[in-house]
Amino acid sequence: MGKTVVKVHPEKCVGCWNCMLVCSFTYENVFQPSAARIRVEFDGEGFAPSFTDECVSCGTCARYCMYGALEAEEREKGAA
């Protein structure tokens, strides 16, 4: 099994924070956006999802993204 890579499509992000809530619950057992390993911030033009250094690219955020702003893709071992 390869590593999961999470692709970001910021033009589809509506800033619902669902990804941050599911991430914080998955890793910290609380619904607390500040505890998430993904951040969704307004950059002046739209919402911009980004990942912290603690992110392990598990893809949970993408599985629960209702708007297609995050997409999990499996990469084969050794693939660039």
Does 48 reside within a domain? yes
Q: What's the Cα-to-Cα distance from 62 to each of 15, 25, 36, 45, 58, rounded to whole Å? A: 14, 14, 13, 22, 9
Q: What is the CATH number of the domain that holds 42?
A: 3.30.70.20
User: Helix (H, G, I), strand (E, B), or coil: what is residue 46?
Assistant: coil
Q: What is the dihedral of CA 66, 37, 34, 63, to 10 degrees?
A: 20
Does 59 reside within a domain? yes
pLDDT digits (tens, 9 = 90+) for 14-66: 999 999 999 999 999 999 999 999 999 999 999 999 999 999 999 999 999 99
**Residue 50's pLDDT is what?**
97
**Residue 61's pLDDT is what?**
97
Domain count, the chain: 1
Range of the domain at 62: 3-75
Q: How many CB atoms lie within 10 A of CB 54?
A: 11
pLDDT of residue 1 exceeding 80: no
Does 80 reside within a domain? no
Does 21 reside within a domain? yes
Q: Which pTM value belongs to this model?
A: 0.87
Does 64 reside within a domain? yes
